[in-house]
Amino acid sequence: MSKIDNITTVKDIDNISSLPTHLGIILDGNRRWAKEKGLKPFEGHRRGYLRLKTIALAAFDRGIKYVSAYVFSIENWDRSKEEVTYLMDLLNWVATYEINKLHKKNIKVIFLGTKEGLSPKILKSIQLAQYKTRNNTGGTLALCLNYGGQREISDATARIIKDKVKAKDITPELMSHYLYGPDLPPIDLIIRTSGEQRLSGFMLWSAAYAELKFVLKYWPAFTVKDLEEALRDYSKRQRRFGV
């Protein structure tokens, strides 16, 4: 691991005129990175989490308030049983043990997604992790677990119907309150690694006016310098909230 991989601060790099409040990350390419390195796919996922922790802490240190990461989609259940089991064990490890390190860094951790299909063990770990970090103020890390953007909107709609909200009272603002993370602001910038150029259902409502940054590197190879480059590019853009 190079020295740059261990950096969790970007204060020593050129100042940036404007930063996103909410950064979204689609961490793509873990398995392809592992394959190119001659490693098992599981090692790619493990390195992917370690990379997420490094990049998220760097973002928070730079002044970004919210980081949302796509860690397991609803579609990922279609992968091999062995890989899904490993991913669930990895996520449980994060929620049970790694959460202590994030807690010491004053990071609030929340999980976004449907509970359907998750084991009682995972659900308990998630609940305890969120409770432990609920009052932290150093930044909010939202992990999209068992998540789908269309599912989030349909679940929100179902809850609106259940609450018997009148049609005339349904507004974009009201819909936002029914999402998985109602306290999260809209996403300002989304970074997707591995060269793919699509959202894959990532936080569709919150991403309505997000700026997009596609990076060729696989996620485990994404560095703090790459983050800084993306932030610098974002600061040069003139955002438009329309067509």
Backbone angles phi, psi at 11, to 5 degrees: -65, -25
Residues annotated as part of the active site: 28, 76
For residue 188, count CB atoms less than 10 angstroms from its CB and return exposed for 0-12, middle for 13-18, buried for 19 or more. Answer: buried
Distance of CA 97 to the CA centre of its chain: 19
Backbone angles phi, psi at 20, to 5 degrees: -70, 145
DSSP secondary structure code for residue 3 in this structure: G
Do residues 54 and 8 touch, judged by C-beta distance below 8 A?
A: yes
In the block, residue with structure tokens 């930044």:
139
Backbone angles phi, psi at 4, to 5 degrees: -65, -30
